[in-house]
Every structure is written in structure tokens, then in C-alpha cells.
Amino acid sequence: MRTASAADAATGVAARVSLRDREWGTELVLRVTGVRSAGVCELVAVRADGEAWPVATWSAAAGHAPLVEAGTAMRLAEIARLEVRAADGGRLVALRP
């Protein structure tokens, strides 16, 4: 299992993720804090070549710290970074596993 955490000073959002290699891809458990407004958030896995795959979406509420469990077919070794994005596509925080 690998873990990563990051915070973005501009957005105030922080995240911590645990990643585990599985035979089908990568299992992820993500905790996000500091989201300032309600709306939909998205977790995206990005390869070194810039190709991005959606991993999960959830409804965020100001002041809540959701625990998001998800998976992607992308192998752990292929993931260059993970991004938590707002519904408008703006990046809230990026993590490097």
C-alpha cells in the first residue's frame, strides 16, 4: 500500500489517499478536507503522458470531509498524479503517489 497527501494553499483543500495494487488495477481510499462550497467533486488519475481517467465523483458540502472509496483500471505504477477537481473542472488539489 502506498499513501500520499497534499494541500493547496490557493484553494484551501487538502487530501490524503491510500492506493493499493490489485489484479484489476488500483484501489483508492481518499479523504478530502477544506472544500469551501457545495457541489460535485471528481477524482481523476493522470498518466505521465497527460492522459486522464475519471475515478470517482461525489457530492461535496462545505465543512464535510468525505471518505471516498474507488478503483481504476489504471495500474498504480502508471499513475503520475491524482487530481481532485470541482464540477467546473478546476483543480482543487493534486497528489503524487
Q: What is the pLDDT of residue 65?
A: 83
Report the CATH number at residue 44.
Answer: 2.60.40
Across-strand partners of 22? 25
* Across 9-18, average pLDDT: 96
Residues, the chain: 97
Domain count of the fold of the chain:
1
- Distance in angstroms (rounded) separating the CA atoms of residues 24 and 59: 26
* Total-model pTM: 0.92
Q: Which amino acid is at 92?
A: L
Q: What is the pLDDT of residue 91?
A: 96
Range of the domain at 76: 2-92
C-alpha cell at 35: 472544500
- Kindly tell me the burial class for residue 9, based on how many C-beta atoms sit within 10 Å of its own C-beta (0-12, 13-18, 19 or more): exposed
- At 21-74, the pLDDT tens digits run 999 999 999 999 998 877 899 999 999 999 999 999 999 887 788 899 999 999
C-alpha cell at 34: 477544506
The verdict on residue 8 lying in a domain is: yes
